[in-house]
Amino acid sequence: MALLPYNKRTMAERGWEEVDFVLVTGDAYIDHPSFGAAIIGRVLEDRGFRVGVLSQPDYKDAASFTVFGRPGLAFLVTSGNLDSMVAHYTVNKRYRSNDPYSPGNRSGKRPDRAVTVYCKKIREAYGDIPIIIGGIEASLRRLAHYDYWDDAVRPSILEESGADLLVYGMGERPVREIARRLNEGEHVSALGDIRGTLCRCEELVLPENGVMLPSFEEVRRDKKAFAVMTKKALENADHVTGRILIQRGRDVYLIQNKPSLPLNTAELDAVYALPYTYGYPPEYDSAGGVKALSEVRFSLTHNRGCFGGCSFCSIALHQGRYVVARSHRSVIEEARRMTAFPDFRGYIHDVGGATANFRAPACKKQEKSGLCTHKKCLYPSVCPSIRADHRDYLRLLREIRSLPKVKKVFIRSGIRYDYLLADPNREFLDELVKYHVSGQLRVAPEHVSPAVLKRMCKPSVKEYERFSEAFYKATQKAGKEQYVLPYLISSHPGSTLDDAIALALWLKKNRLRPEQVQDFYPTPATASTCMYHTGIDPYTMETVYVPKSAGEKRAQRALMQTFKRENEAEIRKALLKAGRSDLLSGKDCLLPPKAPPRKNGGQRRRRR
């Protein structure tokens, strides 16, 4: 196995004088199936196309995009595994000092709004060469969208970048068709009928059965129109029920074709059987390697998609809510390959995916009729049509545990504890705590307030409490000391100061001290981001309170960490503002405990 060509020298080593596709990525080139660029490159190679990977080119110099020369068919452009703005900035809009997707963990190797910048440099170098964009940044910015960093509505990234075609969602199927048709001589402008793509269109040839969205100008001016656009986009994200969407952009109409059909199990197996090296170019070693690879090098992805449908999550808009799983044989073969690596030490770090304990669609109906448009599978409670069953996942974990050289198999992807509790068989929970937890299991109740959980589309906190009780009983039975830690979000749309105080009281009652908390981060296209921008819940069109000021965000964050003395002033101010002076003292006091007095009258001893 060898890496795909990543510079002129490695292209020449294959005896190539040119490539069919130049795949431009804002990440370092990591040849591992956890990275979308690696998958697309290998999928095209498997179809006989010559692919050169151009990672992190100098975005200030058009000449850096000419390393492989003019490709025979097209440029393919992605920002990498993250939206470039998320990769660069914290929720407080401060520039991150490191980048795990770059050699040496160094930031600054890709530009802000990488897809747009790359496309413009390619145009500067090659004029009318076909450019197809994809990946998470393109996928979630495919329509008019709210941009947190500009605090403004921006047009479709297809318009801004000047690319010819946008692939949204998981790209294997549409990219194969694009490559075939370009190779057969079709012009890129003729590819506007491919599922899973977005293209430009003249008004005279608009699809007859499409859903017309409010225009870019409407959603830029009118927040209610923005909420309507978001609602229609979410309702049409399923590959069975989704319809063509049409939006008037700045200058042209944009056509979002129906979502691509998901890969089936055999097709997903084939993607993971491609000859990945699970490494990166040796030139990265001198910089200290690439941290992002170390996080996943010994991890296994066994599924794709998530029917959880959380409002703040982009998975439903990118991977989809329909779950497809790999076969046991496929996952076991990949695990065997990992155990042969010289640096394997016996530990599989994860057997997961978007949600680890999903191995099939939520119900039989979804296979032919698609997912329900106006209902959630797990919210407000587990749908009666769901048959929660962990037996297949459990068998898979047992097979991996039994492999030679494997000492321990962890599960670090998210576990849906409400789905786990819906399974009457507790065998999976027993084996989870006995074999697959590395001391702590993180799960995501996100909040405790019913009003906030409603906006998040998350179940009642009582479900978390039921799971926590069951977890500790199973842990005690296994004779282990392990902990379940809740992942929580502050300042989510819908969260008032009273809701934040309710969360603080719950944490105190349950003796929980979260060392890490996350402020809500509005990323493009999600329902929660729509609420943040508009103050409207797109599912219900109800008005939603949104904590936006820096002061209130600090207060809500501080209330999640009342044990920290540096938060005392912020907490006191928040409690007085909320009229909760009763919580300044007494048994429910939320102020940090006072530091014990120093011995010797609090004076430091002088050194003699």
Q: What residues form DSSP beta bridges with 246?
A: 212, 255
Q: Tokens in use for 230?
A: 């978001």
Question: Helices (H) and strands (E) in the chain — how many of each?
Answer: 23, 20
Rounded Cα–Cα distance for residues 531 and 542 (Å): 10
Confidence at 599, pLDDT banded by 50, 70, 90: low
Residue 207: is its pLDDT beyond 90?
A: no
CB 286 within 8 A of CB 254: no
Provide mean pLDDT across the span 338-345.
96
Return the residue matching tokens 């587990």: 382
pLDDT tens across 416-431, in order? 999 999 999 999 999 9
The residue-averaged pLDDT of 50-57 equals 98
Q: Residue 311: its pLDDT value, please?
A: 97
* Cα 206 from chain centroid (whole Å): 32
Summarize pLDDT for 253-304 with one digit per residue, the tens.
999 999 999 999 999 999 999 999 999 999 999 999 999 999 899 999 999 9
In this prediction, residue 607 carries a pLDDT of: 41
Q: Which residues pair with 504 in a beta bridge?
A: none
**E strand map for 220-349:** 245-248, 253-256, 299-301, 303-304, 324-325, 347-348
Amino acid at position 457, single letter: C
Q: How far is Cα 412 from Cα 518, in angstroms, rounded to an integer? A: 18
CATH, range 8-199:
3.40.50.2300
Locate the domains of the chain by residue range: 8-199, 474-593
SS percent in the chain: helix, strand, coil, step 5: 40, 15, 50
In the predicted model, what is the mean pLDDT of the chain? Answer: 95
As a whole-number percent, the residues of the chain with pLDDT over 70 amount to 98
Q: Find the Cα–Cα–Cα–Cα dihedral 595, 599, 603, 607, rounded to 10°.
A: -130
Residue pair 304/262 in contact by the 8 Å Cβ criterion: yes
Over residues 51-55, the mean pLDDT reads 98
Per-residue pLDDT at 442 exceeds 90 = yes
252 pLDDT more than 90? yes
Peptide bond preceding 174 in cis form (omega within 30 of 0): no
pLDDT tens digit sequence for 455-466: 999 999 999 999
